[in-house]
């Protein structure tokens, strides 16, 4: 069975929106049928921006609850083939990052988007922390430690997967031959491939222009109160050329229909598209249908949310079991890595085989 690791950072307020769901969580659920899945809450990554103890704890718990709920809502409590854990519960990620730092060229990391975007905004160098700069190396460690064959992510993360691949290649090249190769005789790291389905690579926000993102205020939430979701749906970009409900309307670029393609009933959506093109249905009616479809689609998840929210011991158990399994895999990889690079406590006094 092929294996993958993917992660979500508890940034913003830790809640998930339909962009995260379509671009990430839904893909995890689909792939879990025939993949060994390691899913982590990337709390170490969140330290680049969140430096307030209460906020980090709250965000992490919120994300755990949001993500687990979506997974349990569709797959049931046994979560087949899924190992769900907190990144900081497996400190070996950080050890591997330290090791990988030494095979990572500075230029490679200087070309990374997150850092370059900060520079483009004319942020002073002293206001960029090393955690942010070095973020792609920690992400490479996350991915490589589980020998991931693929990494399901949205397009914004593609460059990070390519960097992880470059780092793995360099490590394998440096430590892949002669006496320094891994005990197994094989190279240590699997080269990961990004897994980015085209239709959800970038889910646009309700403004119809930019990637859906909490920080841009263009999201549709999953677990918020119904009134908030309704407000978000009612504010969604449709067709600016259409003034009256009986004007013929456009479907392309109309975000209500973009979302309906994912969450509505196919036959009904096609019928509504026809009505919309002919000016036979109002924006309000299609938005109401989107709102109902979203509530229906996430009914089970919203119920699981209440169930998990009232059972912290169960959540803790899932995380504990996940951390143990992840640690045991990561420990095996680190043993190979330490062996390959010469960090072993053998005391054989100079007979290095």
Tell me, yes or no, if 110 is annotated catalytic.
no
Q: Which residue is nearest to ligand TYM (CB)?
A: 23
Q: Could you tell me where the DSSP H helices lie in 76-128?
A: 92-101, 106-110, 113-120
Q: How far apart are CA 230 and CA 261, in angstroms?
A: 18
Q: CB neighbours of 121 closer than 8 A, spacing ≥ 6?
A: none
Please list every residue from 188 through 207 that binds ligand TYM, using CB under 6 A: 200, 202-203
Residue 302 interacts with ligand TYM (CB under 6 A): yes or no: no
Residue 31 interacts with ligand TYM (CB under 6 A): yes or no: no
Q: Out of 36, 43, 67, 142, which residue is the one contacting ligand TYM (CB under 6 A)? A: 142
The candidate with the shortest Cα–Cα distance to 260, out of 244, 240, 228, 236, is: 236
Residue 81 annotated in ligand binding: no
Q: Out of 68, 151, 182, 330, which residue is the one contacting ligand TYM (CB under 6 A)? A: 151
Instruction: For the CB of residue 238, give the shortest distance to ligand TYM in the complex, in Å.
Output: 19
71's tokens: 């997974």
Tell me, yes or no, if 214 is annotated catalytic.
yes
Q: Out of 157, 206, 221, 304, which residue is the one contacting ligand TYM (CB under 6 A)? A: 157
Site string for ligand TYM, 208-247 (x = CB under 6 A): ---xx-----------------------------------
Instruction: For the CB of residue 231, give the shortest distance to ligand TYM in the complex, in Å.
Output: 19
Please answer whether residues 134 and 97 qualify as being in contact, where contact means their C-beta atoms are separated by less than 8 angstroms: yes
Tell me, yes or no, if 211 is annotated catalytic.
yes
**Strand, helix or coil for residue 205:** coil
Residue in 58, 158, 181, 211 annotated catalytic: 211
Residue 9 interacts with ligand TYM (CB under 6 A): yes or no: yes
Q: Checking DSSP bridges between strand 2-8 and strand 82-86, what pairing results, if any? A: unpaired
Which is nearer to ligand TYM, 195 or 275 (by Cβ)? Answer: 195
Residue 282 annotated in ligand binding: no
What are the beta bridge partners of residue 195? 152
Binding segment for ligand TYM (CB under 6 A), chosen from 105-113, 136-144, 229-237, 264-272, is 136-144
Q: How far apart are CA 181 and CA 203, in angstroms?
A: 43
Angle, helix 255-263 to helix 266-277, in steps of 10 degrees = 160
**DSSP E strand boundaries for the chain:** 2-8, 35-41, 82-86, 150-152, 193-195
Q: How far apart are CA 135 and CA 142, in angstroms?
A: 11
Which is nearer to ligand TYM, 24 or 260 (by Cβ)? Answer: 24
- Residues that are catalytic: 118, 211, 214
Binding-site annotation: residue ranges for L-tryptophan: 142
Sites of contact with ligand TYM (CB under 6 A): 5-9, 19-20, 23-24, 42, 45, 139, 142-143, 151, 153-154, 156-157, 200, 202-203, 211-212
């Amino acid at each position: 069975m092929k294996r993958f690791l993917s992660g979500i950072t508890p940034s913003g307020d830790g809640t998930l929106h339909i962009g995260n769901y379509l671009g990430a969580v839904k893909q995890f659920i689909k792939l879990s049928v025939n993949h060994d899945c390691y899913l982590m809450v990337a709390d170490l990554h969140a330290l680049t921006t969140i430096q307030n103890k209460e906020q980090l704890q709250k965000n992490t718990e919120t994300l755990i609850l949001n993500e687990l709920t979506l997974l349990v809502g569709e797959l049931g409590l046994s979560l087949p083939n899924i190992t769900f854990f907190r990144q900081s519960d497996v400190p070996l990620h950080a050890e591997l990052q330290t090791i990988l730092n030494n095979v990572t060229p500075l230029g490679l990391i200087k070309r990374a988007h997150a850092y370059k975007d900060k520079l483009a905004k004319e942020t002073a160098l002293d206001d960029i922390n090393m955690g942010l700069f070095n973020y792609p190396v920690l992400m490479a460690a996350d991915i490589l430690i589980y020998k991931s064959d693929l990494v399901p992510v949205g397009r914004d993360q593609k460059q990070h997967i390519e960097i992880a691949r470059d780092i793995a290649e360099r490590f394998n090249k440096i430590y892949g031959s002669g006496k320094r190769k891994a005990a197994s005789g094989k190279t240590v790291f699997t080269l990961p491939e990004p897994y980015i389905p085209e239709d959800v690579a970038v889910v646009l926000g309700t403004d119809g222009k930019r990637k859906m993102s909490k920080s841009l205020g263009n999201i549709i939430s999953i677990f918020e109160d119904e009134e908030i979701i309704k407000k978000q749906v009612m504010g969604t970009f449709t067709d600016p050329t259409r003034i009256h409900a009986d004007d013929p309307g456009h479907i392309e670029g109309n975000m209500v229909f973009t979302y309906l393609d994912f969450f509505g009933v196919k036959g009904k959506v096609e019928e509504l598209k026809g009505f919309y093109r002919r000016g036979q249905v109002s924006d309000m009616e299609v938005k109401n249908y989107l709102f109902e479809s979203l509530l229906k689609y996430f009914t089970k998840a919203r119920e699981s949310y209440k169930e998990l929210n009232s059972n912290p011991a169960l959540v803790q158990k899932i995380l504990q079991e996940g951390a143990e399994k992840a640690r045991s895999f990561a420990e095996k990889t680190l043993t190979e890595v330490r062996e390959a690079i010469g960090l072993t406590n053998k005391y054989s006094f100079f007979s290095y085989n």
